[in-house]
A and B are shown apart, each in its own frame.
Chain A
Amino acid sequence: MTGTPKCQNRIELLQGMLDMLVLQALLREPMHGYAIAQVICSRSGEVFTVETGSLYPALHRLERQKWVKSEWKLTESKQRAKYYQLTALGKKQLTSDHQRWLQLVRAISAVMEPEVQS
């Protein structure tokens, strides 16, 4: 294996987490698939890499569930790319996903580090 990918897949994404991360990435502005992968990679401190083979199925799944909508636009470098944008439904979904995630983190922390909690 040669090359030096910026993000190593050090931690495997939990089932369903990718959807939440993608929605979160799109919260501020519409983005194309490549940018989404980059954003998730950089924001995670280069811990997560998003495989193309997972990203696009996820994007098309989210689009089918009407959480995102897409549109072909030109990038800054004048290249045609498909931009994804969060819908109102998607925002709601993100909020509830986020809530559940916080619950999960709290619960797992409570189990793993009881002394810190008490």
Chain B
Amino acid sequence: MIRWPWDRAKESLSEELESHLQMAIAARVARGEDPEHARAAALREVGNLPLIEDVTREHWGWMWLENLLHDTRYALRQLRRAPAFTATALLTLAFGIGANLGVFQLLYAVILAELPIPHPEEVVRIHVARSPFDQSWTISYPAYQRLRDATPDVPLMATAYAQDATLEFPNRASIEASLAPVSDNYFSGLGVAPAAGRLFVQADERMEQSEWPVVLRYDFARNMFGSARQAVGQHLVLNGRAFVVIGVAHRRFLGDLTGRAPDIWLPLALQSTGAFAFSWDSLGPGHDVSLDKPWYNQPTIFWLVLTARIPPERRAAVLAHWDQVFRNDREVMTEATADPAVKAALLHAKSGIAPLSENGMRKSFTGPLTLLMGLSASIFLVGCLNLANLQLARLHARAHELSVRMALGASSSRLIRQIVLEDAVLVAGGSMGAFVLGPLASGVLVRWASNRNSLFTFDLHPNLPLAALGVGLMLLSLLCFSILPVVIFIRTGVAQTAGSRAKVAGISQTARQRMRSNVLLGTQVSLSLLLSTMSGCFAATLVHWETVDVGMDREHVLIVRPELHQPRYTDHSEMLPELYSRIRERLQGLPGVRSAAVEMCGGIHCGWITALYVHGRNDLTDAQVHGQEDHVGLGFFSTLGIPILRGRDFSSSDTDKTQPVAIISRGYARQLFGDSDPIGHSVGYGPAPNDHKFLIVGEVADARVNGAEREAPPVVYMSINQNPAPVNSIRVRAVGDPRQLSESVRQALREVDPALPVSEIVPLATEVNGDLGTEKLLARLAGIYASLTLLLVAIGFYGVMSSRTARRRSEFGIRLALGATRRHIQMLIVGQTARILLAGILPGAILSILALHVAGHFLYGSVSVNSLAIIAASFVLAFAGSVATLIPARRAAFADPLETLRSE
């Protein structure tokens, strides 16, 4: 037993009063009274000793603390006595608050958080010119140097995109690390501090280094080397090149692109090694572009994204200055097009700025995350309503006890305090769960939202707004499910039921009280209908994109990614057609394989933008000539299941010594030739006078090669045998499930070329669904929310109807005794549920239709089609509600009327 400080004080007080009493007795005895009589008289004179003690203790000033402790102990005892309620409340609160925290943390990281650097508002992206084909805001290295030199006092940073690289470290399995090539002033310009070591300086940008410097992301360094400090000075091998870690960036700095935290930052000069795959755009073939040579002196390769730190008031002047410096580059860029309108637009374009926050991540996730936040708020609300209803039912069950306590002199404020404290303990417990659950939830959400090939990395550290939200939700839940119901109940309920046992046990619940819990239940039904409808629609949308006709046989094709970007292949590209043919023959010899083919593009993010000009046509606009390009091997179309509509497929007689041929997709043909036959036209990459050497020999159907949810792009296919180069994928079409072929394919490739590494084997279905991150996120989370609210609604109906039938037991007993059938009693109870359901479903349907309008952007299909989900959701809800009601209804109907009446 714990001895509190007030226990001693209490004993002392008792002793003090006792000594007072003894002195009073002694005084009377001294005056001659007999001891018996003296004692009685003294006791009478002194009065009610325990009451005096109580009153005195109130003057100590810490009675409240003692009371609080008492009440807490009492609360815990009460909660232990109602384990079902306690568990429901704890789980509801933990999940309701946790879900909100999880989604908010993500929302904050994606939308609200600023870069963790000084004066983040000064840092902006510089949009000088869009590259000719990709339309990305990239410029050449020489242009970057000119702009940077023109304004030495403005930090102008350049970054590039590079594909993930293979990181080798002694005694460790090699891993894929994401890269961010940056200019030497990147960290100093942004104002990022190192967590250990140093960041880049000008000397790091030197060409031809034997060991290149890299900077690591904090968490990456910790995972790899244990700590940031230990990482500094470590030697790494990236794509076969030697690197040394010179420093680790600040813990909170995850790069300048939301969600895309690079593991490794490296100097731009690294491009000259040719060991890394950089994203680029150019003026197109025939413009003096040598991709194999270093890019730093080539003005026609566009690969650098610009970021600058300029105070707002200087922006106009600096941009105007840069436009002057950049004028020559604009003229160079006009060579990429024959369209005079586009040429004029290019020449007159002005540089602009864009906030760093304006990126794809924010664009694609603001909507879904806001929506999810709304859904999370609804589930929190449903949880609170449910608890409020359970609370009211619980209070009604305790009405007799409470009224007796009030009659005995307990103050209503003390009663309210005790009950609220009980719930505060619940809220505290639930919130603790929520604060554990929240970060876990955001982690899971990030994984769901991530595309297949790249996991998003966000700064998910706890922050002040998150804590404020958590505390706010705690207080709100306490207010909703505890303070309001209790105050209402004590002020009305107890006063009315006080005194009469019969009234308490009988039909004391007034119409108003019933109405109150009906409204609460009805609101729950509405919100639950909303969540169920949304969940149904999101699921349908996901299913739609996962099953939509992509114009390819998505269920039977396997994508194999070989690593052909190695000198032994790239230096002897003339040997490649022969290798491809051997691969094809070997794979087609495998049992279960229908056909196999090689393809330049590796997957849905190939994005090889090109332009096709038709011989003898000078009237083509840029919109007509632009499309996508791909180089494919023999049997590609039959392997992918893309039908040939006109003309012929590539054949083994198409070699580098014969007429270069091309096959175009229906969409591209329509763009260039309308409905007329494209076969026999000559096309080329540039407008006349450039040569148009490719002869169109075939037309194939459109296919959604950029992902299931994106429209089929116009594509021109060339023969890989006429343009030998390392391919990025081998496609294998299976008779049955392609996954089962993985091992035999890997084995067969080893037999063809033991030195050829295979980095990945994935089914086509997985690849084309790879970008359905937001759809998956919405469908899964809405699904979880919907099932939870269904459960809560079921619990709500069960709880309310149970307490109601329990209270009407004697009434039912009399009814049964008077000849009512059990069915009649059941229908009486189920009828109540039906009315509440109906009253909830109607506003819920309106709410759902509104929500469908708002969320229409994320849904496939029209609002009216999606509205059908409301009907389905209503049925599910009605079913759940009825089942939950039937349990107490049966209990009431099958109780022995004699027993019930006897117990009265």
A residues in contact (CB < 8 Å) with B: 2-3, 5, 32-34, 38, 51-53, 56-57, 60-61, 64, 72, 75, 77, 79-82
- B interface bracket (residues with beta carbon within 8 Å of A): 20 to 34
Take A34-B20, A57-B55 as given contacts and tell me if A82 and B44 are in contact as well, using a CB distance cutoff of 8 Å. Answer: no
A82 touches B16 (CB 8 A): yes
A34 touches B23 (CB 8 A): yes
CA A21 to CA B17, docked complex, whole Å: 20
* B 44-59 binary contact with A (CB < 8 Å = 1; else 0): 1111100110011111
Does B4 count as interface, using CB distance less than 8 angstroms?
no
Take A52-B46, A57-B58, A57-B59 as given contacts and tell me if A77 and B26 are in contact as well, using a CB distance cutoff of 8 Å. Answer: yes
B52 touches A53 (CB 8 A): yes
B16 touches A56 (CB 8 A): yes
CA A5 to CA B24, docked complex, whole Å: 11
Nearest 10 A/B pairs, CB to CB: A34-B23, A3-B41, A61-B59, A60-B59, A56-B56, A82-B16, A52-B46, A53-B52, A57-B56, A81-B19
B residues less than 8 Å from A60 (CB atoms) = 13, 56-57, 59-60
B residues less than 8 Å from A79 (CB atoms) = 19, 22-23, 26
CA A56 to CA B15, docked complex, whole Å: 12
CA A117 to CA B52, docked complex, whole Å: 44
A95 to chain B, nearest CB (A): 23
Does B61 count as interface, using CB distance less than 8 angstroms?
yes
11 contacts between A and B (CB under 8 A): A3-B45, A34-B23, A38-B27, A53-B55, A56-B13, A56-B20, A57-B55, A61-B59, A80-B19, A81-B19, A82-B16
**Chain A binding surface, main DSSP class:** mixed
CA A82 to CA B55, docked complex, whole Å: 18
Does B12 count as interface, using CB distance less than 8 angstroms?
yes
B residues in contact (CB < 8 Å) with A: 12-13, 15-17, 19-20, 22-24, 26-27, 41, 44-48, 51-52, 55-61
B65 to chain A, nearest CB (A): 14
A residues less than 8 Å from B57 (CB atoms) = 60
Known A-B contacts: A51-B47, A57-B58. Give 18 more (CB < 8 A).
Answer: A3-B44, A32-B20, A34-B20, A34-B23, A52-B47, A53-B48, A53-B55, A56-B13, A56-B17, A60-B59, A61-B59, A64-B59, A64-B60, A77-B26, A79-B22, A80-B19, A82-B15, A82-B19
CA A2 to CA B43, docked complex, whole Å: 12
B residues less than 8 Å from A34 (CB atoms) = 19-20, 23-24
**Chain B binding surface, main DSSP class:** helix
A81: nearest residue on chain B (CB-CB)? B19
CA A53 to CA B20, docked complex, whole Å: 12
CA A92 to CA B93, docked complex, whole Å: 55
A53: nearest residue on chain B (CB-CB)? B52
A52 touches B17 (CB 8 A): yes
B30: nearest residue on chain A (CB-CB)? A77
Counting residue pairs across A and B whose Cβ atoms lie within 8 Å, the total is: 64
B residues less than 8 Å from A38 (CB atoms) = 27
A38: nearest residue on chain B (CB-CB)? B27
B24: nearest residue on chain A (CB-CB)? A34
B residues less than 8 Å from A82 (CB atoms) = 12, 15-16, 19
Take A3-B45, A5-B45, A80-B15 as given contacts and tell me if A52 and B23 are in contact as well, using a CB distance cutoff of 8 Å. Answer: no
Point out the residue from B19, B41, B51, B60 that lies within 8 Å of A32, measured CB to CB: B19
Take A60-B60, A64-B61 as given contacts and tell me if A53 and B47 are in contact as well, using a CB distance cutoff of 8 Å. Answer: yes
A residues less than 8 Å from B12 (CB atoms) = 72, 82
B residues less than 8 Å from A52 (CB atoms) = 17, 20, 45-47, 52
Take A53-B47, A60-B56 as given contacts and tell me if A2 and B17 are in contact as well, using a CB distance cutoff of 8 Å. Answer: no
A74 to chain B, nearest CB (A): 11
B22: nearest residue on chain A (CB-CB)? A79
A43 to chain B, nearest CB (A): 17
B51: nearest residue on chain A (CB-CB)? A53
CA A4 to CA B47, docked complex, whole Å: 15
CA A77 to CA B15, docked complex, whole Å: 16
A33 touches B16 (CB 8 A): yes
CA A64 to CA B20, docked complex, whole Å: 20
A residues less than 8 Å from B41 (CB atoms) = 2-3
B18: nearest residue on chain A (CB-CB)? A80
B902 to chain A, nearest CB (A): 50
A35: nearest residue on chain B (CB-CB)? B23
A residues less than 8 Å from B26 (CB atoms) = 77, 79
A46 to chain B, nearest CB (A): 14
CA A33 to CA B13, docked complex, whole Å: 12
B899 to chain A, nearest CB (A): 52
CA A14 to CA B15, docked complex, whole Å: 29
CA A33 to CA B52, docked complex, whole Å: 13
CA A98 to CA B462, docked complex, whole Å: 60
CA A61 to CA B63, docked complex, whole Å: 13
Point out the residue from A5, A33, A61, A77 that lies within 8 Å of B20, measured CB to CB: A33
Point out the residue from A5, A56, A61 that lies within 8 Å of B52, measured CB to CB: A56
B96 to chain A, nearest CB (A): 44
A residues less than 8 Å from B27 (CB atoms) = 38
B residues less than 8 Å from A51 (CB atoms) = 47
CA A5 to CA B27, docked complex, whole Å: 12
B residues less than 8 Å from A2 (CB atoms) = 41
B18 to chain A, nearest CB (A): 10
CA A27 to CA B872, docked complex, whole Å: 86
A residues less than 8 Å from B24 (CB atoms) = 34
B23: nearest residue on chain A (CB-CB)? A34
CA A98 to CA B55, docked complex, whole Å: 27
B residues less than 8 Å from A75 (CB atoms) = 23
CA A2 to CA B45, docked complex, whole Å: 10
B17: nearest residue on chain A (CB-CB)? A56
CA A72 to CA B15, docked complex, whole Å: 10
A residues less than 8 Å from B46 (CB atoms) = 52
A residues less than 8 Å from B48 (CB atoms) = 53
